[in-house]
A = this chain, B = another copy of it.
């Protein structure tokens, strides 16, 4: 069961960074290593609430990370190792990407009982 792929977020409000990307065919191994490293580093950041991520067979992916507030997002953006990885992403690994910062205002899910969703 993959319920661990769902982020266990608190009751809103909190923030979401929606990162939509198309991978190119470059650097598969280096990309995977960097993605794993960034996922691990993010968990150590103040205000980190969780992440949900998926990518299909054509390399189109969506990653949504959840944060307590805008300050937490900014601090992660400025984390040194993450800044290097983002530059590699832009120049080497992504054919295209879009990033959106959004304030989560309400949430619900099913089955209920294992998160703070309404």
Contact = CB atoms under 8 A, between A and B. Distances in A.
Interface residues of A, number: 45
A105 B102 contact: yes
B109 A101 contact: no
Quick one: copies of this chain in the complex? 2
Interface in A60-116: 60-62, 64, 90, 94-111, 115
Given A18-B18, A54-B55, A60 B2 contact: yes
Interface of A: 1-3, 5-7, 9, 12, 16, 18, 20, 22, 52-62, 64, 90, 94-111, 115, 117
Q: Which 7 A-B pairs have the closest CB atoms?
A: A102-B102, A98-B109, A62-B62, A100-B107, A102-B104, A54-B56, A103-B103
